Amino acid sequence: MSMFALQMKFEEYRLSKEVKQNLDEMGFKRPTDIQFKCLPHIQRGEDLLAIAQTGTGKTAAFAIPLIDKIQQIKYKSHERGSLVRAIVMAPTRELAQQITKVFNQIGKNTKVKALCLHGGVEQEYQINKLIEGMDIIVSTPGRMFDLVSQGYLKLEKIEVLILDEADHMLDLGFAKDIDDLVLKLPKRRQTLFFSATINKKIKKQAYKMVSSKAIRIQISPKDPVSKNVNHQMVFVEMDDKRFFLQRLIQENENLKFLVFVRTKVRAERVKSAMERVAIDCLTIHGDKEQQDRETALLAFRTGACKLLIATDVTARGIDIEGVDYVVNYDLPEVPENYVHRVGRTGRGKAKGKAISFCAKEEKEYLTAIEDYTTVPITRATVTRSEYSETVELADDGKDDWKSLINMEVKKSKKKKKK
């Protein structure tokens, strides 16, 4: 391919005028690297194994050619109704919703219909939409199989299968679900396999699904962290982390913070600690009802709340504009998750910052992360006086972990009495 081809704008691609107009309205002028490399292969109907770090525009890389393809089929066949031609599997509800949103933005005025299926909500609306007729289904594995077994979701006409965040899907134990789905699909189909990381387990799964002629595309620089993100770490004692988070937020009160913790319990404890010093925040994790998760994401997305505390399972893959700071309150146990976390900021062409708090007992996680990224994380310098000042100014004597734990115990006892 010539260097000149890299300068192509979307308006020069063989795409429908509706898709081009929608891309223009979304501010998409030229394809990102992953979009540029994937588009022609997907348009030609080839199988694909694509490895690209988070924030590179993977969703649009498959959404653009898929919508255009289905639009052409419907136009040529004068098809009035819709039948499911494409399945996109995603590991979490939030990611499935986000992918569907992109499909609907790019597919506006094309009559190509995309529907999101996931658990945590009643089936009735989803069933009615399937009966009405849909072209593209974006789904988490559980709800998809429920509706297939009930006969509402037909798979015999599927032409394209897409796995997004495949590495995360395998981490969550969905390998058997993926295999079961493949058995129900036509053998002659196009398979697109997207993953942020690659290892033996992912390769094995991918090569079971894609053809031997599949195109492999890998966009992963030596350092997998986006160049748009300035990421640093600071050594902080476990019990002092809340003071450093408090100071960071209070000194940057107009910025939007996404804070990662290791567990659901930690998320609620950090939230309590912040609220005790009058910092408004919300949490998102697996124990939350779907409606509460959606409400929290909407508040954070719109800026109504500027601090969201999350666990890895619920926040990976979430694309929220304008996240100024990612804070690794707890270092992740899985090194790859460090890249996914800090990738929530510095999306597209935006710049972002990330800071990690590392306690003595987390140093083995730090070593694993730096082995994975192959690049040492810059150490932020905090003098002894700055450290002491941070703890002393923030600590009012009321905000210790014991009192917070006692509050949680009292809450649970009250619930039991009810």
Which of 189, 219, 249 delimits the end of a domain?
Answer: 219
C-alpha–C-alpha distance, residues 168 and 95, integer Å: 11
Domain that holds residue 247: 229-402
In a domain, 417, yes or no: no
Same domain, 234 and 154: no
| CA distances (Å), origin 232, targets 71, 298, 310, 350 | 46, 28, 19, 18
Tokens representing residue 37 in the block: 């490399």
Determine contact, residues 380/234, Cβ cutoff 8 Å: yes
Determine contact, residues 312/340, Cβ cutoff 8 Å: yes
Which of 192, 219, 246 delimits the end of a domain?
Answer: 219
In a domain, 410, yes or no: no
Same domain, 285 and 202: no
Same domain, 250 and 366: yes
Pair type for strands 229-235 and 352-358 = parallel
Please provide residue 49's backbone torsions phi and psi, each rounded to the nearest 5 degrees: -120, 105
In a domain, 177, yes or no: yes
Which of 219, 254, 276 delimits the end of a domain?
Answer: 219
C-alpha–C-alpha distance, residues 290 and 315, integer Å: 13
In a domain, 36, yes or no: yes
What pLDDT score was predicted for residue 414? Answer: 53
Per-residue pLDDT of the chain in tens (418 residues, 90 and over written 9): 333 334 478 988 999 999 999 999 998 988 988 899 999 999 999 999 998 876 678 899 999 999 999 998 887 766 666 788 999 999 888 889 999 999 999 999 998 999 999 988 888 999 999 998 899 999 988 888 889 889 899 888 899 999 998 888 888 888 888 888 888 899 899 999 998 777 788 888 888 888 888 999 887 655 667 778 889 999 999 999 999 999 999 999 889 999 999 999 999 999 999 999 999 999 998 888 888 888 998 899 898 999 999 998 766 666 788 899 999 999 999 888 888 888 888 877 788 899 999 999 999 999 999 888 888 899 988 888 889 888 887 755 444 444 444 545 555 555 555 5
In a domain, 234, yes or no: yes
In a domain, 412, yes or no: no
Specify the number of domains making up the chain.
2
Q: With DSSP H G I counted as helix, E B as strand and the rest as coil, what are the percentages for the chain, rounded to 5?
A: 45, 15, 40
Tokens 């905000």 map to which residue? Answer: 399
pTM of the model: 0.64
Same domain, 213 and 233: no
Tokens 């609620």 map to which residue? Answer: 268
Beta bridge partners of 214: none
Same domain, 276 and 317: yes
Crossing angle (nearest 10°) for helices 175-184 and 141-149: 40
Same domain, 16 and 111: yes
Same domain, 239 and 370: yes
In a domain, 224, yes or no: no
Tokens representing residue 163 in the block: 């796995």
CATH number at residue 340: 3.40.50.300
Same domain, 103 and 170: yes
Same domain, 201 and 329: no
Same domain, 214 and 239: no
In a domain, 407, yes or no: no
CA–CA–CA angle 307, 56, 34 (5° rounding): 165
C-alpha–C-alpha distance, residues 18 and 343, integer Å: 31
Same domain, 179 and 244: no
Tokens representing residue 325 in the block: 């700071």
Same domain, 362 and 343: yes
